[in-house]
Amino acid sequence: MSKILLPLRVLEDESLSPGLIGLLAPADVVVLGYYRVPDQTPPGAAREQFGDRAQSRLDDVAAALRDAGATVETRMVFTGEVEQTIARTAAEADADAVVHPGSAMQVEDVLVPLVGRPDLAAVAEFVASLVAERDIDVTTFALDDDLTAADVTAALADAGVDADQLTAADGPGGGPVDAIASVAAEYDAIVMGEPEPSLTEWVFGELEDRVATESLGPVFVVRARE
């Protein structure tokens, strides 16, 4: 069973869509409720004011996931640096993936663009656990020159994804974000590897965030472990 970290801005009413709850049902979920504290505010002051309300929202989300069948832990963090908090909690929980919640009524197909570190096996394994025993189509394309469509399908098949569910498409070309963005809206969810830090990552912010903005549905980012 894969372990998934689900960061959620609980105080701003960020909530879970039915499609995502369905996808997470068989998983081990760590719900990370967080509140972004402005630089002017001591985190302790925000906790004093909002702590109870945040905790009760977080408990509601956890209850919804438990009802769907997931194993749930919760954590509540008041933070000035959201990225740092997500990275820390993901490492502490030893999560396989982090999900940007997005919204989907029902998940019938998943896009698996392969970018970033060559952690093909980890991504394939995660995809396999996500779609196991469900009627979800997997479409994949490689955006890396070193990978062929055959490599990708082979890895997914090895991990246990049914050949009937699998489609290997040609990459639409262009940079990774443009390529993903141009087709993202057509799929209910996206699974990708953790982006490698690069210059554009520094300048334009996290690749995964941009993908999450472009796609409407949930985006799973499989963590690169050392």
Partner 1 sequence: MGTEEPPSPTGENRAGEEPSAAPVGETTDEATVTDEGVELERTIGLVGGLAIGVGTMIGAGIFVFPGLAAEEAGPAAAASYAIGGVIALLVALPASELATAMPRSGGGYYFISRSLGSLPGAIVGISLWLGLVFASSFYLVGFGSYAVELLGRAGVSLSWPVPPTVALGLVFGALLTGMSFTGTENTAKLQNGVVALLLVILSVFLGYGGLDAVGVFGTSSTPETFSPFGFAPVFTTAALVFTSYLGFAQVATVAGEIKKPGRNLPLAMVGSVLLVTVFYVATIFVATSAFGSKALGKFGETAMVEVAGEFFGLPGVIAILIAGLLATVSSANASIMSSSRAVYALSRDALLPKKAGSVNLKYGTPHVALALAGVPVLLLVASGQTEVLAEVASFLHLVMYGLICVALFQMRRNAPDWYDPDFRVPAYRAVAGVGAVASFGLIAFMQRLSQVIGVALMIAAAAWYYYYARDVSLKGVL
Among 36, 59, 162, 213, binds partner 1 (CB under 8 A): 36
Residue 101: Cβ-neighbour burial (10 angstroms; 0-12, 13-18, 19+) = buried
Do residues 163 and 157 touch, judged by C-beta distance below 8 A? Answer: yes
**Is the CB of residue 187 less than 8 Å from the CB of residue 219?**
no
CA distance 1 to 166: 21
Query: Interface with partner 1 includes 9 (CB under 8 A)?
Result: no
If binding is defined by CB under 8 A, does position 85 make contact with partner 1? Answer: yes
Candidate segments 40-48, 123-131, 195-203, 205-213, binder of partner 1 by CB under 8 A: 40-48
Q: Kindly state the smallest distance separating residue 94's Cβ from partner 1, in Å.
A: 16
Is residue 90 part of the contact set for partner 1 (CB under 8 A)?
A: no
Does the footprint of partner 1 cover residue 13 (CB under 8 A)?
A: no
| Bridge-based pairing state of the strands 219-222 and 166-168 | unpaired
Q: Which of 60, 67, 81, 135 binds partner 1 (CB under 8 A)?
A: 81
- 30 is a contact residue toward partner 1 (CB under 8 A): no
Alpha-carbon separation of residue 77 from 51, 95, 118, 120 (angstroms): 9, 17, 32, 32
The answer to whether 35 contacts partner 1 (rule: CB under 8 A) is: yes
Could you say which of 2, 17, 79, 153 contacts partner 1 (CB under 8 A)?
A: 79
Give the closest residue to 95 by CA, choosing from 134, 58, 131, 122: 122
Stretch that binds partner 1, among 31-39, 149-157, 168-176, 186-194 (CB under 8 A): 31-39
Interacting residues with partner 1 (CB under 8 A): 35-51, 55, 75-81, 84-85, 88
